[in-house]
Amino acid sequence: MVNITIDGRQVAVPENYTVLDASREIGINIPTLCYLKDINKTGACRMCLVEVEGVKNLQTSCVFPVREGLVVKTNTKRVRDARRGNLQLILSNHHRDCLSCFRNGTCELQTICDDMGLTELEFEPPKELKPVDMLSDSIVRDPNKCILCGRCVAVCNDVQEIGILAFTNRGVETEVAPAFGKSMADSPCIYCGQCINVCPVAALREKTEMDKAWEAIEDESKHVVVATAPAVRAALGEVFGNPIGTRTTGKMFTALKMLGFDKVFDVNFAADLTIMEEGTELLGRIKNGGTLPMITSCSPGWVRYIEYQYPELLDHVSSCKSPQQMMGAMLKSHYAEMNNIDPKDMVVVSIMPCVSKKTEAAKEEMIGSHGTRDIDIVLTTRELGKMIKEARIEFNDLPDSNPDEYYGDYTGAAVIFGTTGGVMEAAIRTVADIVTGKDLEDIEYTAVRGLEGIKEATVKIGDMDVKVAIAHGTANAGKLMELIKEGKADYHFIEIMGCSGGCVTGGGQPHVDSRTKEKIDIRAERAKALYTEDKLRDKRKSHQNPSIQKLYKEYLGEPNGHKAHELLHTHYKK
Ligand code: HC1
Ligand code: SF4
Please state whether the predicted TM-score (pTM) of the whole model is above 0.95. yes
CB 11 within 8 A of CB 26: yes
- pLDDT of 6 reads 98
Atom number of ligand 2 nearest to Cα 355:
5
Split at pLDDT 50, 70, 90, the class of 574 is confident
Given a cut of 90, is residue 215 above it in pLDDT? yes
Ligand 2 site-directed mutation target among 160, 176, 183, most atoms within 8 Å of CB: 160
Q: Residue 494: CB within 6 Å of ligand 2?
A: no
Indicate if 278 belongs to the active site. Answer: yes
Indicate if 558 belongs to the active site. Answer: no
The DSSP code for 363 is: S
Indicate if 360 belongs to the active site. Answer: yes
Split at pLDDT 50, 70, 90, the class of 79 is very high
Give the closest ligand to the alpha carbon of residue 164. Answer: 2
Atom number of ligand 1 nearest to Cα 504:
8
Ligand 1 site-directed mutation target among 354, 366, 380, most atoms within 8 Å of CB: 354
Give the closest ligand to the alpha carbon of residue 187. Answer: 2
Q: Which residues contact 107 (CB under 8 A, 6 or more apart)?
A: 98, 101, 200, 201, 202
Atom number of ligand 1 nearest to Cα 270:
11
The Cα-based distances of 211 to 215, 223, 442 in angstroms read 6, 17, 46
Atom number of ligand 1 nearest to Cα 298:
6
- pLDDT of 573 reads 81
- pLDDT of 172 reads 84
Indicate if 206 belongs to the active site. Answer: no
C-alpha of residue 557 to centroid of ligand 1, in Å: 25
C-alpha of residue 299 to centroid of ligand 2, in Å: 14
Among candidate residues 419, 206, 189, the one with its CA nearest the CA of residue 304: 189
Q: Which residues contact 522 (CB under 8 A, 6 or more apart)?
A: 244, 245, 501, 504, 505, 512, 516
End-to-end CA distance of the chain: give it in Å, rounded: 54
Separation of alpha carbons 549 and 556, rounded Å: 10
- pLDDT of 359 reads 98
What's the whole-number mean pLDDT along residues 40-51? 96
Separation of alpha carbons 294 and 82, rounded Å: 56
Atom number of ligand 2 nearest to Cα 196:
3
Q: Which residues contact 338 (CB under 8 A, 6 or more apart)?
A: none
CB 413 within 8 A of CB 440: no
Q: Residue 193: CB within 6 Å of ligand 1?
A: no
Catalytic residue among 156, 192, 503, 514: 503
Report ipTM for this prediction. Answer: 0.94
Given a cut of 90, is residue 171 above it in pLDDT? no
What's the whole-number mean pLDDT along residues 316-327? 98
Give the closest ligand to the alpha carbon of residue 419. Answer: 1
Pairing of strands 346-352, 2-6: unpaired
Provide the percentage of residues in the chain whose pLDDT is more than 70: 100
- pLDDT of 489 reads 96
Nearest residue (by CA) to ligand 1, atom 14, is 229
Nearest residue (by CA) to ligand 1, atom 15, is 323
What's the whole-number mean pLDDT along residues 10-37? 98
Split at pLDDT 50, 70, 90, the class of 341 is very high
- pLDDT of 134 reads 98
Catalytic residue among 251, 357, 358, 517: 357
CB 348 within 8 A of CB 227: yes
Ligand 1 site-directed mutation target among 267, 382, 509, 533, most atoms within 8 Å of CB: 267
Separation of alpha carbons 512 and 51, rounded Å: 29
Indicate if 298 belongs to the active site. Answer: yes
Beta-carbon count within 10 A of 359 CB: 22
Largest CA distance in the chain: 80
- pLDDT of 228 reads 98
Instruction: List pLDDT tens digits, range 105-119.
Output: 999 999 999 999 999
Nearest residue (by CA) to ligand 2, atom 7, is 189
Q: Residue 502: CB within 6 Å of ligand 1?
A: yes
- Positive or negative torsion for Cα 145, 209, 351, 573: negative
C-alpha of residue 200 to centroid of ligand 1, in Å: 25
The Cα-based distances of 120 to 45, 84, 117, 202, 531 in angstroms read 20, 11, 9, 22, 48
Instruction: List pLDDT tens digits, range 403-455.
Output: 999 999 999 999 999 999 999 999 999 999 999 999 999 999 999 999 999 99
Phi, psi at residue 538, to the nearest 5°?
A: -60, -45
Give the closest ligand to the alpha carbon of residue 151. Answer: 2
From the CA atom positions of the chain, what is the Rg in Å? 25
C-alpha of residue 553 to centroid of ligand 1, in Å: 25
Catalytic residue among 360, 383, 495, 533: 360
Mean residue pLDDT of the chain comes to 97
Provide the percentage of residues in the chain whose pLDDT is more than 90: 98
